[in-house]
Amino acid sequence: MDDPLFLASDLRLAVHRLARRLRVEQPDDDLTLTQISALATIWRFGPLTAGDLAQRERVRPPSISRVLASLEAAGLAQRRENPRDARQVIVSVTPAGDRRILEAVRMSEAWLAERLQMLTADEHDVLAKAAALMERLASAEERSLADRRATT
């Protein structure tokens, strides 16, 4: 039952399928999950450099550039040059982004929130704990990465 091999298999498929479903259930007029994820990270940890954001989101710099361009076009985030190192870009949430983020997140969560109401309080508790564990798994460092970029 808690054989790590079967668990890995079950968890992997469940995550894949729920992620696929969540993408489909996005409201058309709102931000995509990728944009919300980045915006939430800027909101929580910003201002931060584009590179730091890419690391926190665990995507490559070009991917972050794309997302940032869309968030900037939507007026929700802004990029400024770092006066102390002109190579860097400092990313922050705009006042409009700050005003809208909670609502945007709530709206985009509507489908899932409704389905969660079908579950019991105990099941909510399991999912809350699991969400924290999945974040840890998603962020887990590994040898190969540590080798590639020595983050001290």
Partner DNA sequence: TATTGTTATACTCTATAACTATA
Partner DNA sequence: TATAGTTATAGAGTATAACAATA
Residue 58 · residue 137 · CB < 8 Å: no
Tokens of 121: 């309080």
Q: Which residues between 87 and 116 bind its own copies (CB under 8 A)?
A: 105-106, 108-109, 112-113, 115-116
Cβ neighbors of 94 (< 8 A, separation 6 or more) are: 75, 76, 77, 78
Segment contacting its own copies by CB under 8 A, of 45-53, 65-73, 91-99, 126-134: 126-134
Give the range of 53-61, 107-115, 116-124, 132-140 binding DNA by CB under 7 A: 53-61
The one among 11, 22, 25, 49 contacting DNA by CB under 7 A: 49
Residue count (the chain): 152
Q: What is the DSSP string of 43-72?
A: HHH-SEEHHHHHHHHT--HHHHHHHHHHHH
Regarding 118 and contact with its own copies (CB under 8 A), the answer is: yes
Q: For its own copies, which is the closer residue by CB, 5 or 86?
A: 5
Interatomic CA distance for residues 113 and 37, integer angstroms: 17
For DNA, the closer CB: 117 or 152: 152
| Alpha-carbon span 138 to 57, nearest angstrom | 10
**Minimum distance, C-beta of residue 34 to DNA, in the bound complex (Å):** 4
Q: SS3 for 60?
A: coil
Q: Does 77 bind DNA (CB under 7 A)?
A: no
The two tokens of residue 26 are 């996005």
Binding site for its own copies (CB under 8 A): 1-2, 4-5, 7-22, 24, 33-34, 36-37, 40, 57-59, 105-106, 108-109, 112-113, 115-119, 121, 123-135, 137-140
